[in-house]
Amino acid sequence: MHTARPLVGLPADTMEKEGLPFHILGDKYAVAVADVSRCHPLLIPSLGDVDALRDLVSALDGLVITGSPANVHPSLFGAEPTAAHEPYDHSRDATTLPLIELAIEQAIPLFCICRGHQELNVVMGGTVATEIQDQPGREDHRGHLSDVNLRYLPAHSITITPGGVLHQILGTTETKVNTVHRQAIDRLADGLTVEAAAADGTVEAVSIDAARDFALSVQWHPEYKAAQYPDSVKLFEAFGDAARARHARRTGQTGEPALRAAGV
């Protein structure tokens, strides 16, 4: 029996080229969702229409809030804008923050990555620190900026909270992750639990205390060549399984997890 794959939304960044606006999504996110989570990726234009987003989210089986070259506008977490906070994507802010709220409200499986990690903290009432490499005692988390082939290689270790959500997925209390960011969670929002941290205290992963379904957020980029890294496979498979479970509840269809387990 054919079983339709779950539908996973991924919000777009916006950019302008030759005077025309575009909505774009990094290929690595779509590939990770399609090939490792075994779900259908759906690009969500960043139009900021909350009513339309509410209708859309109810038809989704999962939501991945991606990383981005842009940063959350500081006014959204009570800070004054400076050059250190740039660049911005106001259209994305107006879309992803409501999307996260709706996903939590409707118990949609939620996986936040990099900018998405910081966005989740902002939505929940936390703040973001910028240029963390300039702060005393902090490491440089920007990674190898000039060579894309080196940029996403594992760069530093993280310590994982024993017994936590991430520990249950990865089965270890320490692993090594890539690092491609200059901002990070500053004040952790109430309602979030730290799932992993770097040696310098950078919050590398969090979960939502009151989550009724999969809800995990990471600062690194597990989507990069996800199928090649065992930890990334575990993360995207766990998210995909949660999306399949929602899809089964939503549509009454079953069978996909068994097919994947059998290697089909």
Task: Tell me the pLDDT tens digit for each residue of 53-62.
Answer: 999 999 999 9
Q: Is 221 a catalytic residue?
A: yes
pLDDT at residue 85 in the model: 85
Residue 12's alpha-carbon distances to 30, 65, 163, 230, in angstroms, are 11, 9, 34, 27
Structure pTM?
A: 0.91
Q: Is 39 a catalytic residue?
A: no
Which of 119, 195, 204, 223 is catalytic? The answer is 223
**In order along the chain (264 residues), what is the average pLDDT of each group of 10 residues?**
83 94 96 98 95 93 95 91 88 96 96 97 95 75 74 92 97 95 91 96 96 96 96 98 95 56 31
pLDDT at residue 182 in the model: 80
Which of 73, 141, 156, 221 is catalytic? The answer is 221
Which of 39, 73, 114, 156 is catalytic? The answer is 114
Sign of CA dihedral 53, 57, 60, 66: positive
The strand ranges marked E within 82-155 are 110-113, 128-129
pLDDT at residue 24 in the model: 96
Cβ atoms 134, 187 nearer than 8 A: no
Cβ atoms 97, 149 nearer than 8 A: no
pLDDT at residue 262 in the model: 29
DSSP state for residue 164 in the 8-state scheme: S
For residue range 233-260, list pLDDT tens digits in order. 999 999 999 999 999 999 887 654 433 3
Q: Is 237 a catalytic residue?
A: no
Cβ atoms 98, 53 nearer than 8 A: yes
